[in-house]
A and B are shown apart, each in its own frame.
Chain A
């Protein structure tokens, strides 16, 4: 057994944590873009598109993220398509984030009083003008805190991708444990790194919520 110093453990974990960060960013940004598209389908006027967005969300919120990862990784393999772990992980997390983000944002759009739609309509605005100038500016303000809050879920969600063999922070923890036989120390550090990633996000969601609320009251 080779000797692992504490520094070796931390260094290896930190190197792997880069992939956790990258995967989180890709999932969050990709999910955000897809979420916006779904949102417009959902609140738009085409019944078919609206139903598609609704079923999409129900499907992805109604199944565990782990199953989605398995299906992306092994499912495509059944058709002879060789999916690398990073691709399966990225795709599954993007689809999963999109479902949740769209649902968060839809709630924010719904929270805008009906009178705002009616007043802007009575002034002659068309649907897209209403969205662009009246609804979204108000909805975005209330959407920021829960969106930042959800980013914490994305970071923690990336841990599941270790199961399909993507080497991020959790997987690195397992590998290092197998080499050092110090599970408590290693996973303790793993947890600390996750916390260091997530805590600032939670905190900033809180700060943003307070700031934007104050802004809404007094401008």
Chain B
């Protein structure tokens, strides 16, 4: 059984069908890059996996837990899958430490000192242990995104969804975030990332998914997808870059 099973998933916003039957199985420890033009449905697919969008048809299961639209099932699923956003979405009224602790104490009812220990460990892991008492708006974009990663990791998810996590960053800050993701991948974390960093996808990912007009158009190991694209659409997409 795969860790994440996406079966015939369809999603429409009004009359606009964004996902037209997606099938994708992700094994534990895999690093999947989803690439494609804007509007191809890649972000929507990622948001569906975490229940931020409700699907119209098909099914999604993570480690055996079905994605159902009621709060109980959603919360169970979200404990298994963390998500990192393009805009970081740190909580501005809490310190960096508070950001990483709040979901532990509120959702998991972890004791405060234990949550703090976990927060410090995760912040050290992303190289920001010394920023524990800073507020998010005192950090650079790259640092904020690393805090967001630490915040997701503190919940000990079995998979992480990364939605264009370097797209809002200045070019010189992209690498520090990618370095953290690279390390996670090396440690065996299951990752699904929507990305425009083709070089990163080629180096780190186990499989690349090319989405086009709401369908998985091509899928395969990066060397195949990038060096030997089968379809005209993928050739055109790679040529554009």
Please determine whether A122 and B107 come into contact, CB atoms closer than 8 angstroms. no
> Does B106 reach chain A (CB closer than 8 Å)?
yes
Given contacts A118-B85, A129-B107, A217-B137, contact A123 B93 (CB under 8 A): no
Could you say which of B18-26, B71-79, B229-237 contacts chain A? B71-79
10 tightest Cβ-Cβ pairs between the two chains A and B? A119-B89, A123-B103, A115-B89, A122-B83, A124-B107, A124-B78, A219-B135, A124-B79, A137-B93, A124-B75
> Does A127 reach chain B (CB closer than 8 Å)?
yes
Q: 12 A-B Cβ contacts within 8 A?
A: A113-B89, A119-B148, A121-B51, A121-B78, A122-B50, A122-B52, A123-B82, A123-B151, A124-B107, A134-B91, A138-B92, A216-B92
Please determine whether B91 and A116 come into contact, CB atoms closer than 8 angstroms. yes
With both chains docked as a complex, state the minimum distance between the C-beta of B50 and any C-beta of chain A, in angstroms.
5
| A120 to B85 alpha-carbon distance, docked (Å) | 12
Please determine whether B103 and A120 come into contact, CB atoms closer than 8 angstroms. yes
Q: Give chain B residues whose Cβ lies under 8 Å from the Cβ of A129.
A: 106-107
| A129 to B75 alpha-carbon distance, docked (Å) | 12
Please determine whether B52 and A121 come into contact, CB atoms closer than 8 angstroms. yes
| A133 to B109 alpha-carbon distance, docked (Å) | 13
Q: Give chain B residues whose Cβ lies under 8 Å from the Cβ of A115.
A: 85, 87, 89
Please determine whether B92 and A123 come into contact, CB atoms closer than 8 angstroms. no
Please determine whether B79 and A119 come into contact, CB atoms closer than 8 angstroms. no
Please pick, from A116, A126, A127, the residue contacting B89 in the complex, using a CB distance under 8 A: A116
| B interface, CB within 8 angstroms of A | 50-52, 71, 74-75, 78-79, 82-83, 85, 87, 89-93, 102-103, 106-108, 135, 137-138, 148, 151-152, 155
| A interface, CB within 8 angstroms of B | 113, 115-116, 118-127, 129, 133-134, 137-138, 141, 216-217, 219
- A115-B87, A118-B83, A133-B102 given; name 17 further pairs at CB < 8 Å: A115-B85, A118-B52, A121-B52, A121-B78, A122-B52, A122-B83, A123-B82, A123-B103, A125-B103, A126-B71, A126-B75, A127-B71, A137-B93, A138-B91, A138-B92, A217-B137, A219-B135
Q: Give chain A residues whose Cβ lies under 8 Å from the Cβ of B75.
A: 124-126
The residue in chain A whose Cβ has the minimal distance to the Cβ of B82 is A122
Most chain B CB inside 10 Å of its own CB: which residue of A116, A119, A124, A217: A124
Q: Give chain A residues whose Cβ lies under 8 Å from the Cβ of B135.
A: 219
| A100 to B154 alpha-carbon distance, docked (Å) | 41
| A217 to B50 alpha-carbon distance, docked (Å) | 32
With both chains docked as a complex, state the minimum distance between the C-beta of A132 and any C-beta of chain B, in angstroms.
8
With both chains docked as a complex, state the minimum distance between the C-beta of B4 and any C-beta of chain A, in angstroms.
15
The residue in chain B whose Cβ has the minimal distance to the Cβ of A119 is B89
